[in-house]
Amino acid sequence: MTQTALAPSAPTSVTAATPTPAAPTAVAPTAAAPTPADTTRWLAPIVRAAGQAVSDYRMIENGDRVMVCLSGGKDSYTLLDVLLHLQRKAPVPFELIAVNLDQGQPGFPTDVLPRYLSALGVPHTLIRQDTYRVVREKTPAGKTTCALCSRLRRGALYRHAREIGATKVALGHHRDDILETLFMNLFFGARLKAMPPKLQSDDGTNVVIRPLAYVPEADIIRYAQVRAFPIIPCNLCGSQENLQRRVVGEMLAGWEREHPGRLTNIARALTRVTPSHLMDPSLFDFASLSVTPTEGDRAFDPDEHPQREFLSGVQELDVLG
């Protein structure tokens, strides 16, 4: 069943100096239709990793109503496939509702996602809020649109989640997004901060989950190619060539090419934090340390370099039967 909700906003004009970008059009699939074996082969590692993340962080619980945010990109399409698979295999029932936010991009193909979701039999809603004009008007020339666009988009989605009674809001960020955020904050914000797999929303009324938190982007790219999703390009974030995030992403990709497994180890490190060996007094009470440590001194213990894969043992999950 298709529902349509409108969230109109006051129209804002684009200054004459702002060029009108080409309208986004869905990228039509050109590859031959995948066989079931092809699809299963590339979905399997993604479902294993996502199932592990869902379990580790209790992302989905009995009776949850999960709002899946679809942008028309490879990540959100993959997220929906994963959640549909887990819905069939999970030991607890939960509901899925797909939502797409039409941000008012000129020529946005409003028929693509409803047609795709209807063919899958997934309940869905298309909401509209003209954030595109606001972002174009408020962002100075040469500056990135990400911060303002993201804030406006989050507000619209959180509001809709409240309106439909969603208990969880699922986003399609993957492992590499999380690592890029870690280094963006490190290099440009002087903060040791990444992107959490589960959090309370800014307004405190929603719980946001990222089931793909353990999934490498390379796995998603391969799967999306096999599935030939009808990709809808973005004329805001996706059109800015000099984003610092893109530079950081290229740096990480270079590390992985030269040292396979490095990104796996960095991601693993985010789950194995030792506050006493950092420098934040709000996380560890350095001031109260005495000459007789109550827990012993590990400052000079041998370094640990685990050889095991970050997600070793994931194959034991009963989510692929």
Q: Looking at the predicted structure, is the pLDDT value of residue 153 above 80?
A: no
* Torsion on CA atoms 162, 165, 167, 171, rounded to nearest 10: -60
Element (H, E) at 230: none
For residues 231-258, average pLDDT = 79
The mean-pLDDT minimum among 16-30, 163-177, 258-272 falls in 16-30
Residue 153 lies in a domain: yes
Give the model's pLDDT for residue 61. Answer: 95
Residue 295 lies in a domain: no
Give the number of other CB atoms < 10 A from CB of residue 25.
14
For residues 194-220, average pLDDT = 93
Element (H, E) at 146: helix 146-164
Q: Length of the chain, please?
A: 321
Residue 194 lies in a domain: yes
Residue 278 lies in a domain: no
For residues 128-146, average pLDDT = 64
Give the model's pLDDT for residue 146. Answer: 60
Tell me the per-residue pLDDT of 13-70, one tens digit each, with 9 for 90 and over: 223 333 334 445 454 444 456 677 778 889 999 999 999 999 999 999 999 999 999 9
In the structure, what pLDDT confidence band is assigned to residue 286 with cuts at 50, 70 and 90?
A: very high
Residue 146 lies in a domain: yes
Give the model's pLDDT for residue 244. Answer: 82
The 10 Å CB-count burial string (b at 16+, else e) for 286-305 is: eeeeeeeeeeeeeeeeeeee
Query: Which CATH number fits the domain that encloses residue 120?
Result: 3.40.50.620
Q: Which of 102 and 172 is assigned the larger pLDDT?
A: 172
Closest of 179, 190, 191 to residue 245, by C-alpha:
179
Give the model's pLDDT for residue 228. Answer: 93
Mean pLDDT, the chain, rounded, equals: 80
Q: Which DSSP letter does residue 181 get?
A: H
Residue 265 lies in a domain: no
* Domain membership of residue 246 as a residue range: 2-8+28-256
Give the model's pLDDT for residue 155. Answer: 74
Distances from the Cα of 217 to the Cαs of 108, 155, 174, in angstroms? 26, 26, 6
Q: Name the range with the highest mean pLDDT among 59-73, 94-108, 197-211.
A: 59-73
Tell me the per-residue pLDDT of 212-230, one tens digit each, with 9 for 90 and over: 999 999 999 999 999 999 9
For residues 185-208, average pLDDT = 91
Distances from the Cα of 127 to the Cαs of 102, 146, 173, in angstroms? 6, 20, 21
Residue 122 lies in a domain: yes
In the structure, what pLDDT confidence band is assigned to residue 319 with cuts at 50, 70 and 90?
A: very low
Give the model's pLDDT for residue 107. Answer: 74
Give the model's pLDDT for residue 303. Answer: 60
For residues 195-210, average pLDDT = 89
Q: Which of 39 and 151 is assigned the larger pLDDT?
A: 39
Report the distance separating Cα 293 and Cα 212, nearest Å. Answer: 40
Count of structural domains within the chain: 1
Q: Looking at the predicted structure, is the pLDDT value of residue 250 above 50?
A: yes
Residue 112 lies in a domain: yes
